[in-house]
Structure 1
Amino acid sequence: MNQPNLSAFIWSVADLLRGDYKQSDYGKVILPFTVLRRLDCLLEETKGAVLKTNQEMAAMGVNPEPFLLRESRQSFYNTSPLDMKKLMGDPDHIRDNLYSYIQAFSPAVRDIFDRFELHIQIERLHKAGLLYQVAEKFANTDLHPERVDNHQMGLVFEELIRKFAEISNETAGEHFTPREVIRLMVHLLFIEDDEVVGRPGIVRTIYDPTAGTGGMLSVAGDYIDEHNPGARLTMFGQELNPESYAICKADMLIKGQDISNITFGNTLSDDGHAHKKFDYMLSNPPFGVEWKKVEKEVRQEHEQLGYNGRFGPGLPRVSDGSMLFLLHLLSKMRPANEGGSRFGIVLNGSPLFTGGAGSGESEIRRYVLENDLLEAIIALPTDMFYNTGIATYVWIVSNRKPEHRRGQVQLIDASGMWQKMRKSLGSKRKEFSDEHIAEITRLFGSFAEAERDGKPVSRIFRNSDFGYRTITVERPLRDEQGRIVLGQKGKLKGKPQPDSSLRDTESVPLKEDVETYFQREVLPHVPDAWIDHDKTKVGYEIPFNRHFYVFQPPRPLEEIDAELMEVTDRIKAMLEGLRA
């Protein structure tokens, strides 16, 4: 059964729930039962061997867990003689038997169902007289990996979450990222690392602090499996939404990952992987979401730990916490002398330019650029995400830049590379084809300036090109007779006092000498001005669109006049017709 048909089949369970459940609550039943049936199918072949071994170990008084894991050939097991099919044989005791079956899973799996709060739904379905019918629907759904592989299963979960989010007016995009966007990020992440895709037996770690349902980790794992089956990619993540966390954990469990590496909670206030460093990282943090709820903890870490914590460079405004995730990932980078790290993060346009010199946002950009950590920024098309149509950008950050990239940043404008979807999904109307992903990856890999259809799509800049100094230009205060007022004490004694009403600021590119700029641009217009150097600030911004702007000359005036005359004549003719 293919993924769309499977999703539609599972969705048909909603027909049973209609009337007893609000639409927005369908997912609370369908998601955990889908996971339960998937795990049930995975254990089907080894069920007999597990039960036999469990009895033998119990008789010997030995801890059975390592033996049961070996027999199940999974990273989990179930010691109940029941399974979903057998549950159907006793309709009168379905509730008690289902509880018994779920409790017989290994502890990590029970935690998944606790996060789903499945016990609450079992009671609710039982009271509505629906528990047997719902369980039967799933018992008759074949989710064996020979019929539905792990990749398909991940797509099923995503499709279901998207549907539930849509009907309950939630933001589906908070839970997962479109697969083709992840594929692009993964290609960019690994393109310069021949070792990880070519050397058998190599072990690497990857981390997602906003893991959602685990899509980014899964796609990265699929990429490594395809390019180097002998490599091992150990996955780590953290997720705040209980249902997404439960699905991510189930997905990792099925793939044989250590699910203790997937932690629950708010990454910004409670780092689930404190003091850990990773080889690769991926993240799609929420756009434009305020961080007021965790402000106390974040500010405390910033003020007390400084650069020994995660938020040393600065704090963005409370209305948008996406740059906090950028700082969090920077803190998780393995030191360069231990192999270094590379990560990809999806951000909206705000982190490129919001905040003037000296602001938290500018200081974060300054830290990234002055430490030569930014490899590239790729502009994505609008309407690529399920919950927003705004412009988005992928930042590729690394502390192990190849020699030819050092001191430089590549900007790639991929906003025009897309194909229209056959059917819109929420705000998502556009998608990348495999050819688009290959083209963007090639542009990144070639690290050269390039054009497409006569317009620039790849440009290379020095890190310092994005820096500037904000200088404060003062002019003298004058009395009623127009005489300059001199200071009477302190450091201004005997010097002209500044007139705050005439004060102005100028932005000077970092690569230009301030005095040279001042004499050329300011003094010819205001000869009595001077610079207050104590107020000079350094800032950084990345005006992405400006670097790809192509001037389109206006049409000749004669052509515009001719068109206006033609329209005027048409209107006159219509009025004449009305009078007749």
Structure 2
Amino acid sequence: MSNSNCIKNLPRWVLIRYNYLTEYFGDKPFTVKDMESLFSKLLSEKKLEHIGAIKEFLSILKKEGCIKVIQNALDEKYVKYQIVESEISKGDLFTTLKRAADLIRLGLDYRSLLVFLFYKAISDKYEDKVNQIIKDRNVPKEVAYIMANSEFKMYDEDSGELLTWNEVTKKSDYLVEFQNVLVKFATLNPDIINKDLMIALLNKLGITTLPNELKSKLDQIKRLFDDLDFSHIDFDIIGDAYTYILAQFAPTKGKEGEVYTPQEVIKLLVRLIDPEPGKDILDPAMGSGAMLIESYKYVSEKGGSVKLYGQEYNPDMAAIAKLNFVLHGIPKDLVEIQIGDSLRKLKFAEKSEFKVDYVIANPPWNQDGYGEEVLGNDISLRKIYKYGFPPNNTADWAWVQLMLYYAKEKVGIILDQGALFREGKEKTIRERVVSDDLIEAIILLPEKLFYNTQASGIIIIFNKEKTRERKGKILFIDATDLYVKHPEVRKLNKLTDEHIQKIVETYREFKTVPNFSRVVDIEEIIKNDYNLNVSNYVIKTLSNNSVSIKEIEELWNSIEEIRKEREEKERELEEVIRIMVSKID
């Protein structure tokens, strides 16, 4: 719960702490003493760089109407405050989106929901800006429309047409008009999304050619959005809503081969890389842009900004990423996006020598079709893949080399753990990378974190600027025991903030922890024939009792999961049969 009316006026450092207040206290009363305890905890967890000026913080929140006094006290530390509730709480918003997601699952493309959210949100903010201009300056509506065009152009000055959600959806054939307006929006705002990219996405969605029963579902979703007012909701919350929708469909899309990285794994990777303000970051397998967005948020909490570069092979996903950046409130001048096959050509490097401080990615695991017969035909690529070309059946070490080539400082990549010990051409590349002392840490993640595989993934951190103490060494971390059951997806596990903190602290301190981590000299790795399998270096010793109890618990949970999944599939089958019968009638 948060007061979205006040958020837009808060300084960044105040907004960060205010969001923590709303997260931890909600509608419950709290005192200054409670708040200081919370900030001290966040400081110890490294979620805050410093506590900040408490009196100034409270003064700003009271001035902007974000909090209210509900009980006075002689001692200022025991005055009771409460968050002033906004028109729409984050919980209410997510509840509505969950209802919309349930409707989408009945045969619609989930990206339609993302497009609806995007356009309704920016339309509400545009109309609010227009109303504020009219109130403050007493100008005609048409003049206010032009003045409000500074951030998003939603008024076509040539035709005099207003392109907002409320204008479009009041028309009888609003789906056709909605599609036309989105194309016009892209034409007026090429710095947000390219017109051809928008047309391609809309063609994939096919919202104007849907059968009547699916159009009725889309109409129900439209009515849900009609009841939402985003005008005073902070972009951070809207961005979270966008991410929430992606996560809702991740299990299904994962089974279809679409890569989705869980948000907590992204948080872990970004904190391991620890990007600094004023630097730049590249993700050559960008997907929805989530890694770059988390990097921006992380650096913003340090009081700075970072330049973001992303390249994505799939044009539809690139379009989704562009909308994602907008809804997270990231300035347009801090983001550059390209579309294309990064392994064959990174488009940022076409005109000049291109390098960035950090490169991060979760590329497709074991991607085939990138052996020497493909990558070796282009002479310009030989300098990138200098350690050797990968086998045709897995491009994992091609991605590693691409990222190393364009990074000046650090690389963080998420891969299948087979990349650590497979033989053949991959082993040759691995030997050369290890010999050049580029690998700083390898983290083995718990199983069942990812939607498209139950296998454990790994994070490898490469560092071109290793400190003297870390040269000739690699830190291995076995984090396979750090998980809880996913609260929403029964077959999945999840990392908590405490798990992330433990891994990051161990990496930053570069230390050996029994049963968890070990600093290993490269000489030992050479003796092991360049096998980087984490279990070869971090040996776990567990008592028989604890193992047997855990095995029993996991077996019982598996039985429960199978039972619940069967019930869910039966309900889905009943719904499909109901729809088929209604078509026959």
| TM-score (normalizing by structure 2) | 0.66
Give the corresponding residue for 1:238. Answer: 311
Q: Are residues 1:380 and 2:461 paired? A: no
Deviation at 1:213, TM superposition (A): 1.0
Q: Are residues 1:368 and 2:433 paired? A: yes
Per-residue CA deviation, residues 316-360 of structure 1 (Å, 9 max, x unaligned), is 2222222211111011112xxxxxx112111111111101xxx32
2:368 maps to which of 281, 284, 290: 290
Give the corresponding residue for 2:25. Answer: none
Per-residue CA deviation, residues 369-423 of structure 1 (Å, 9 max, x unaligned), is 2222111111111111122111211111111112211121111111112222233
Q: How many residues align?
A: 439
Deviation at 1:28, TM superposition (A): 4.6
Amino acid at match of 2:385: F
Which SS does the other structure have where 1:44 is aligned? helix
Q: Are residues 1:344 and 2:431 paired? A: no
Distance 1:287 1:217 in 2: 19
Give the corresponding residue for 1:276. Answer: 354
Change (3 A) 1:138 1:260: farther
Q: Are residues 1:87 and 2:168 paired? A: yes
Distance 1:210 1:89 in 2: 39
| TM-score (normalizing by structure 1) | 0.67
Which SS does the other structure have where 1:210 is aligned? coil
Amino acid at match of 2:226: N
- Aligned residues of 1:158 and 1:213 also touching (Cα < 8 A): no
Deviation at 1:126, TM superposition (A): 9.0
- Aligned residues of 1:238 and 1:267 also touching (Cα < 8 A): yes
Amino acid at match of 2:420: L
Give the corresponding residue for 1:400. Answer: 465
Which SS does the other structure have where 1:459 is aligned? strand
Unaligned runs of 5+ residues in structure 2 are 1-87, 546-585
Q: Which moved more, 1:442-451 or 1:29-38?
A: 29-38
Which SS does the other structure have where 1:345 is aligned? strand
1:323 maps to which of 367, 383, 397: 397
Change (3 A) 1:553 1:87: closer
Which SS does the other structure have where 1:116 is aligned? helix
Amino acid at match of 1:239: E
Amino acid at match of 1:189: I
Which SS does the other structure have where 2:485 is aligned? strand
Give the corresponding residue for 2:151. Answer: 74
Change (3 A) 1:300 1:56: farther
- Aligned residues of 2:474 and 2:522 also touching (Cα < 8 A): yes
Distance 1:554 1:169 in 2: 36
- Aligned residues of 1:235 and 1:257 also touching (Cα < 8 A): no
Change (3 A) 1:185 1:166: closer
2:238 maps to which of 149, 153, 163: 153
Amino acid at match of 2:387: P
Which SS does the other structure have where 1:549 is aligned? coil
Change (3 A) 1:56 1:159: closer
Change (3 A) 1:141 1:554: closer
Give the corresponding residue for 2:500. Answer: 437
Q: Which moved more, 1:76-85 or 1:400-409?
A: 76-85
Per-residue CA deviation, residues 520-539 of structure 1 (Å, 9 max, x unaligned), is xxxxxxxxxxxxxxxxxxx6
1:459 maps to which of 506, 509, 518: 518
Residues 164-175 of structure 1 correspond to what in structure 2 (within 5 A)? 164=249, 166-167=251-252, 170-171=255-256, 174-175=258-259
Residues 471-510 of structure 1 correspond to what in structure 2 (within 5 A)? none
- Aligned residues of 2:104 and 2:217 also touching (Cα < 8 A): no
Deviation at 1:295, TM superposition (A): 6.6
Distance 1:269 1:327 in 2: 12
Per-residue CA deviation, residues 195-218 of structure 1 (Å, 9 max, x unaligned), is x3xxxxx52111111111111111
Change (3 A) 1:92 1:285: closer
Give the corresponding residue for 1:312. Answer: 386
Give the corresponding residue for 1:549. Answer: 539
- Aligned residues of 1:26 and 1:164 also touching (Cα < 8 A): no
Give the corresponding residue for 1:207. Answer: 282
Per-residue CA deviation, residues 33-92 of structure 1 (Å, 9 max, x unaligned), is 222223323323334769x999889xxxxxxxxx97x85453665534241112243325
Amino acid at match of 2:376: R
- Aligned residues of 1:95 and 1:131 also touching (Cα < 8 A): no
Unaligned runs of 5+ residues in structure 1 are 58-66, 197-201, 335-340, 469-508, 510-538, 556-580
Distance 1:86 1:109 in 2: 21
Q: Which moved more, 1:248-257 or 1:111-120?
A: 111-120
Per-residue CA deviation, residues 285-316 of structure 1 (Å, 9 max, x unaligned), is 12223235x87542323xx24652x2121122
Per-residue CA deviation, residues 87-133 of structure 1 (Å, 9 max, x unaligned), is 24332576347524640441243535224225862421597765993
Q: Are residues 1:176 and 2:176 paired? A: no
- Aligned residues of 2:154 and 2:162 also touching (Cα < 8 A): no
1:99 maps to which of 176, 180, 193: 180
Distance 1:323 1:393 in 2: 13
Distance 2:466 2:198 in 1: 43
Amino acid at match of 1:344: G
Deviation at 1:167, TM superposition (A): 4.7
- Aligned residues of 2:309 and 2:337 also touching (Cα < 8 A): yes
Amino acid at match of 2:199: D
Larger-gyration structure (1/2): 1
- Aligned residues of 1:237 and 1:262 also touching (Cα < 8 A): yes
- Aligned residues of 2:153 and 2:189 also touching (Cα < 8 A): yes
1:9 maps to which of 79, 84, 96: 96
Amino acid at match of 1:285: P
Change (3 A) 1:5 1:289: farther
